[in-house]
């Protein structure tokens, strides 16, 4: 495969990495899946080693040693300085003649744009955490640090699970009001009480990662009518819309027709209460915004950003999108 305008697309999340090699005609010639990308926990070079294992398999399948351009959308590249540091780390690996690193939320945004024109719009990703970015065709962006409570964040799947545990614990010991979460959360793990669940989490009998299993339980409890659970879902919708409208305003899009792409496991699940409230609030605060839920794999967005960078023609974009796309939905 000639290097030329070939692209290596990398979408690396906290729990998994997807890699694809795209040739100049838009054919997917190599793919691989690898482990999660967590430089804050393991350091930059060990984190890139995880990417390298998947990249090596994808390049081998494609019959290539390198490509023309590397388009990497990476979790934990939350600040521009981190994007620059990670781009340099990827350049040292020699995978491509040029390298661009973006936060992984940009992949969701690019994947959710139904027309393959220049990127224009806003995306909110609500998975384990929450983040929002926006782009204009002239290269301007809107973004948030998105590194937790110290940067003003609330929610995401992990945050919702923590809030649910907090309310359920207080309901059990009397410090808080009643909520069915007191029963539904421990029952998910086959435990008799919140005290038993707290003990299991604290002593490590349940791994911290399993807390994320409680987010669907929260939504089920809310759907059954529990007031506390419903209030948490409503607040999650409020946060999604707050981030969306601020990003739209920063880019001068608040009064214009513009897509608001919704992705990540929490939003892609389209829980009716969350979905309906996001839509209602957006219609009030950004009436011309067009909400879209994207369930296509974000590596599609990394690939399209790479094709943008190398100036690939529209038919190449279309071929790549057709390969991956099974889930961009207008509301």
The predicted pLDDT at position 119 comes to: 78
The predicted pLDDT at position 128 comes to: 85
The predicted pLDDT at position 116 comes to: 56
The predicted pLDDT at position 117 comes to: 59
Q: Are 94 and 87 in contact (CB under 8 A)?
A: no
The predicted pLDDT at position 4 comes to: 65
The predicted pLDDT at position 1 comes to: 44
The predicted pLDDT at position 326 comes to: 57
The predicted pLDDT at position 216 comes to: 97
The predicted pLDDT at position 2 comes to: 47
Cα 316 from Cα 298, distance rounded (Å): 18
DSSP H helices, the chain, are 39-42, 44-62, 80-91, 105-112, 156-173, 181-188, 194-202, 214-223, 227-250, 265-268, 272-285, 299-310, 314-324
The predicted pLDDT at position 113 comes to: 85
Cα 30 from Cα 22, distance rounded (Å): 7
Q: What is the pLDDT along the chain (331 residues), one digit of tens a residue?
A: 445 689 999 999 888 999 999 999 999 999 999 999 999 999 999 999 999 999 999 999 999 999 999 999 999 999 999 999 999 999 999 999 999 999 999 999 999 986 655 679 999 999 888 999 999 988 899 999 999 899 999 999 999 999 999 999 999 999 999 999 999 999 999 999 999 999 999 999 999 989 999 999 999 999 999 999 999 999 999 999 999 999 999 999 999 999 999 999 999 999 999 999 999 999 999 999 999 999 888 999 999 999 999 999 999 999 999 998 754 444 4
The predicted pLDDT at position 331 comes to: 45
């Amino acid at each position: 495969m000639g290097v030329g305008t070939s692209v290596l697309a990398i979408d690396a999340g906290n729990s998994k990495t997807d890699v694809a090699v795209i040739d100049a005609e838009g054919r997917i010639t190599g793919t691989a899946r690898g482990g999660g990308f967590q430089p804050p926990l393991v350091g930059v070079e060990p984190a890139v080693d995880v990417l390298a294992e998947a990249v090596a398999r994808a390049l081998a399948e494609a019959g290539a040693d390198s490509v023309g351009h590397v388009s990497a959308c990476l979790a934990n590249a939350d600040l521009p300085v981190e994007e620059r540091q990670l781009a340099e780390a990827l350049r040292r690996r020699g995978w491509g003649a040029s390298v661009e690193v973006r936060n992984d939320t940009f992949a969701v945004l690019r994947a959710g744009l139904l027309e393959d024109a220049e990127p224009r719009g806003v995306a909110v990703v609500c998975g384990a955490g929450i983040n929002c970015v926006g782009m204009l065709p002239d290269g301007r962006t809107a973004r948030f640090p998105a590194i937790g409570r110290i940067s003003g964040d609330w929610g995401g799947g992990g945050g919702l699970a923590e809030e649910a545990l907090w309310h359920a614990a207080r309901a059990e010991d009397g410090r808080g009001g009643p909520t069915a979460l007191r029963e539904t959360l421990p029952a998910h793990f086959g435990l008799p009480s919140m005290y038993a669940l707290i003990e299991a989490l604290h002593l490590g009998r349940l791994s911290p990662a399993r807390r994320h299993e409680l987010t669907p339980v929260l939504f089920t409890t809310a759907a059954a009518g529990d007031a506390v659970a419903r209030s948490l879902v409503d607040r999650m919708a409020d946060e999604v819309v707050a981030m969306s409208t601020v990003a739209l305003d920063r880019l001068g899009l608040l009064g214009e027709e513009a897509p608001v792409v919704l992705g990540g496991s929490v939003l892609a699940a389209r829980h009716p209460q969350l979905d309906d409230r996001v839509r209602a609030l957006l219609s009030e605060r950004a009436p011309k915004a067009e909400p879209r839920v994207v369930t296509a794999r974000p590596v599609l967005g990394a690939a399209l950003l790479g094709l943008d960078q190398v100036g690939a023609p529209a038919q190449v974009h279309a071929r790549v999108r057709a390969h991956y796309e099974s889930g961009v939905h207008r509301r």
